Amino acid sequence: MNPDGIKKNYHSYINQLRDIFDPVIMKMRRQKGEKWLGLAWKGPLRELKGYTKHLKLLSAIKWTSLPIIGQGIIIAATWYVKVPLWSIILTSVVVLLAIYYFGYVRRYINKMATLGTPEFHIEALKAIRPSEYNLWNSLLQLDDFTFNDLYEVLNSYLVPNTDHSVTSVLQYSMGREEALEETIQEQRERIEEYERIVDGLVSDLELSETSITQLVTLITEVNTNLYRFSNGVLDFNDLRFVTPFTIYEVDGDILRKLKDVGTSGGSMNEIDMSIPQENEYAAVSAARSNRSNEAFVSNPYPGRFIVAFSMRMLNQKRWIWCFHFNDTDERALSLILSNDIIESRQVRRLIHTFCLILQKSMISSDEEEATQNAKGAN
């Protein structure tokens, strides 16, 4: 057979196959994933409805009049009288279910697993005949495949080229190209999304590394101060492990500066809290507050922060600690304002602890000096 004859034969074969297989394939795709066991139990009921017309014929028979059956009914009735009612009901239900399953449901399941029957269901085929299902499943995986589409594509190549056929081929090609472009665009968007996720993870990792480094530095400086305290040389200059600072003591309505470490030295030596201020100092806000260790923030000028908090000290004293730093100091911002590295309240408690230690040393030194002066006077 010449090549043209072979092409025409295949063309005719596919034309026949599309009418046979396409409805089956479409039905399989619609049924795929559906629950089928319920249909297997309900299906025989529809068939039993067709048998109800025969019940009238059976009801007309006088069963007790038949010699053997009549005696059987009498014996059964005598036996049932002696059996408890619940046992009769339970036995009847079990027997009816067994008869219904083995007599009707299993037969209906076989129909559901048989191609070409009205009862056919793809999930029943998958459960009962998995090897046959695997053969058909290769077609079901191709969501957009049908023999009709295959016939149309083949037809466009075999039928002599006309304006209409060329247009069809071009439209098909354009459709495929648009589909590919959409797929490519989706992949690009997905890649961009993954890149954003990776960038976010890298940023979080860098932030974590920075935070760990800053925390290690803080712990190292605190540890050094503990050694200096044990050696009796700790002083206020050692408390600059976070930022430069000033310390004020509350004396009525007056704040008197006790220490100024690392700042430009421009802080006021005394602040009269009775005088109204247009922009209240953070130190004044902290002094007026009844709550210790609560932070108050002020901006004396753009880019500059002062964070103050109140500390209850020995001998009924109150000190006001003021952090001084710029908005470019990321370490100070993290430790004092943003809680990125450690809770800022814990940093203030750490400062408070060192201040209590130094105040106690100051009180001890003053007492020793007073004792020596008293001895010298005697």
In this predicted structure, the answer to whether residue 124 has a pLDDT above a threshold of 90 is no
Other residues' Cβ atoms within 10 Å of the Cβ of residue 277: 10
Whether the predicted pLDDT of 165 surpasses 70: no
% of the chain residues with pLDDT over 70: 69
Our measurement of the distance from residue 100's CA atom to the centroid of its chain's CA atoms, rounded to an integer in Å, reads 48
Provide the token pair at 121.
């269901």
CA distances from 197 to 187, 191, 210, 340 (A): 15, 10, 20, 21
Amino acid residing at 277:
Q
pLDDT at residue 240 in the model: 92
Nearest to 286 by CA among 296, 276, 271: 296
Domain boundary among 112, 135, 158: 158
Q: Which residues of 73-110 are buried (b: 16+ CB within 10 A; e: fewer)?
A: eeeeeeeeeeeeeeeeeeeeeeeeeeeeeeebbeebbe
Tokens of 138: 């290769």
Task: Give the pLDDT confidence of 26-78 residue by residue, as tens digits.
Answer: 777 777 777 777 666 766 666 665 555 555 544 554 544 445 545 555 555 55
| One domain for residues 368 and 246 | yes
Of the candidates 234, 250, 272, which is a domain's last residue? 234
User: 277 and 217, same structural domain?
Assistant: no
Within this chain, do residues 150 and 7 fall inside the same structural domain, yes or no? yes
Q: What is the pLDDT of residue 245?
A: 96
249 & 205 share domain = no
Asked if the model's pLDDT at residue 188 lies above 80, the reply is yes
Do 115 and 140 sit in the same domain of this protein?
Answer: yes
Q: Is the pLDDT of residue 83 over 80?
A: no
Residue 270 has pLDDT above 90, yes or no: yes
For 272, phi then psi, to 5°, come to -90, 110
Amino acid found at 232? G
On whether both 117 and 259 belong to a single domain, the answer is: no
Where is 227: in which H helix or E strand?
A: helix 163-230
Please check the confidence at residue 2 and state whether its pLDDT lies above 60: no
Between 199 and 357, where is the model more confident?
357
Q: Is 11 helix (H, G, I), strand (E, B) or coil?
A: helix
Tell whether 43 and 116 lie within a shared domain. yes
CA separation, residue 357 to residues 164, 319, 328, 362 (Å): 97, 13, 31, 9
Structure tokens at 343: 């809770």
Are residues 353 and 215 part of one domain?
no
Give the per-residue pLDDT at 63.
42
Whether the predicted pLDDT of 143 surpasses 70: no
119 with 19, same domain: the answer is yes
Are 312 and 347 part of one and the same domain? yes
Q: Tell me the one-letter amino acid at 375.
A: K
Give 191 or 144, the one with higher predicted confidence. 191
Asked if residues 236 and 358 have their Cβ atoms less than 8 Å apart, the reply is yes
Answer yes or no: do 323 and 218 share one domain: no
Question: Cα–chain-centroid distance for residue 41?
Answer: 40
Enter the tokens of residue 240. 């600059």
Region 326-333 average pLDDT = 90
CATH of the domain at 268: 3.30.450
d(CA 50, CA 63): 23
Q: Which residue has the higher pLDDT, 190 or 79?
A: 190
pLDDT value of residue 81: 55
Residue 247 has pLDDT above 90, yes or no: yes
User: What integer is the mean pLDDT of 183-201?
Assistant: 85
Q: With 80 as the cut, is the pLDDT of residue 216 above it?
A: yes
Q: Does 373 lie in the same domain as 242?
A: yes
Tell me if 219 sits within 8 A of 291, measured CB to CB. Answer: no
- Which pLDDT does position 14 carry in this prediction? 74
Residue 203 has pLDDT above 60, yes or no: yes
Residue 151 CA neighbour count, 13 Å, CB half? 15
Q: How far is the C-alpha of 259 from the C-alpha of 248, rounded, in Å?
A: 7
Residues 6+ apart with CB under 8 A from 322: 245, 246, 247, 248, 267, 282, 283, 306, 307, 308
Domain that holds residue 56: 3-158
Q: Are 33 and 123 in contact (CB under 8 A)?
A: yes
Domain limit, last residue, from 131, 158, 185: 158
> What pLDDT is stored for residue 181 in this prediction?
85
Query: What mean pLDDT do residues 328-347 have?
Result: 86
pLDDT score for 370: 78
Band of pLDDT at residue 127, cut at 50, 70 and 90? confident
Residue 240 makes CB contacts below 8 A (sequence gap 6+) with: 261, 262
- For range 150-158, the mean pLDDT: 68
Residue 89 has pLDDT above 70, yes or no: no
Neighbours of 155 (CB within 10 A): 14
Res. 18: pLDDT tops 90: no
Average pLDDT over residues 99-124: 71
Enter the pTM of the model: 0.48
Question: Which range in 86-90, 100-104, 321-325 is most confidently predicted, on average pLDDT?
Answer: 321-325
Q: Read off the pLDDT band of 250 (50, 70, 90).
A: very high
Share of the chain above pLDDT 90, in %: 28
Number of domain units in the chain: 3
DSSP string, 168-225: HHHHHHHHHHHHHHHHHHHHHHHHHHHHHHHHHHHHHHHHHHHHHHHHHHHHHHHHHH
